[in-house]
Amino acid sequence: MWQLMMSQLAPRDKTGAYIRPSSSFRNFVGKVTENPFPPAAARYRLFVGKGCPWAHRTLVTRALKGLEDAVAVSVAFPSSGGMWELESETFGCNTLPEIYQLAQPGYNGRSTVPVLWDDSTRAIVNNESSEIIVMLNSEFNEFARHPELDLYPVELRDKIDRWNEKIYHAVNNGVYRCGFAQSQAAYDAACAELFAVLDEIDRALSTNRYLCGNSVTLADVRLFTTLFRFDAVYYSLFKCNLRRIQDYQNLSGYLRDLYQLPGVADTCDLDAVKRDYYGNLFPLNPGGIVPAGPDLSRFLMPHDRGK
């Protein structure tokens, strides 16, 4: 029964390793001629789930750039049936699958967050978080409070991309490969890779304040949302329990540094994170009991990363 439930929750290969499905909508906001999605204020919105680390990336980028007035947000939450339900009716829709159907009638793929949505044409622009944050960084500067902040500068892109590639496989998706593994061998491989890369990151942060130097980049944004959830969720529920992030000499302060950047803490809802993971992943937590900790105040402790 557990294997049946897990196969419905998490697609796997023949070794029992988790395989993440690809995103379906890959259009871009931009000023290219004849692009149906030109940059504009109050035209686009993000559909997000507060517990989802992939959606959280878009909220952090939106906050750092100061796009709260330019890009709206609609919040969804996972129901007991595994469907994303909207907090309030939007365009006559009450669930995220209805939003997908509105954009593409007959759509039968996965209805996931985040979604970058065009209010004007009632279309999904993109539902791949890594691409949405690139657009938020560069295509809305004329409407941003912090247009001078470039989270993906040309001179650092190669380095950012290398970190992103490594961190995606080993850490961002790596925690899911641990938690959703359906064989001991698949879990062991994912867990070993996860902590090898976390150790590597901790060493790199002994000489750099952020992953690519002294400035925050999209590589930090992408890593942050996994680290924020790690000790509260992945350490226990996903069996990523060799070490906590707070046990690392440099990663722990780095996490607090990012959390304390202007606007970032407002995007972090630890109660929603715990509720969504512990309350909705039945095969991993059949009782649905949500743990009491950890104490959120630890994110506000001094980080000393200015050294």
Report the amino acid identity of residue 13: D
Residue 261 corresponds to which amino acid? L
Given the DSSP bridges, would you call strands 71-78 and 44-49 parallel, antiparallel or unpaired? Answer: parallel
130/60 Cα distance (integer angstroms): 12
State how far Cα 140 lies from the chain centre: 20
Respond yes or no: is residue 176 known to be catalytic.
yes
Active-site residue identified among 107, 152, 168, 176: 176
Say how far apart CA 251 and CA 65 lie, in whole Å: 24
| Residue 52 annotated to the active site | yes
d(CA 170, CA 190) in angstroms, rounded, equals 7
Length in residues, the chain: 307
Nearest to 224 by CA among 3, 38, 54: 54
Question: Alpha-carbon distance 148 to 26, whole Å?
Answer: 27
State the DSSP code for 263. T
Kindly name the residue from 52, 178, 240, 268 that is annotated as catalytic.
Answer: 52
Q: Is 70 exposed, middle or buried (0-12, 13-18, 19+ CB in 10 A)?
A: buried
C-alpha closest to that of 160 among 214, 210, 222, 218: 218
Task: Please state, in angstroms and rounded to a whole number, the distance separating the CA atoms of residues 162 and 149.
Answer: 21
Q: CA-to-CA distance for 23 and 126, rounded, in angstroms?
A: 8
Active-site residues, by number, are 52, 176
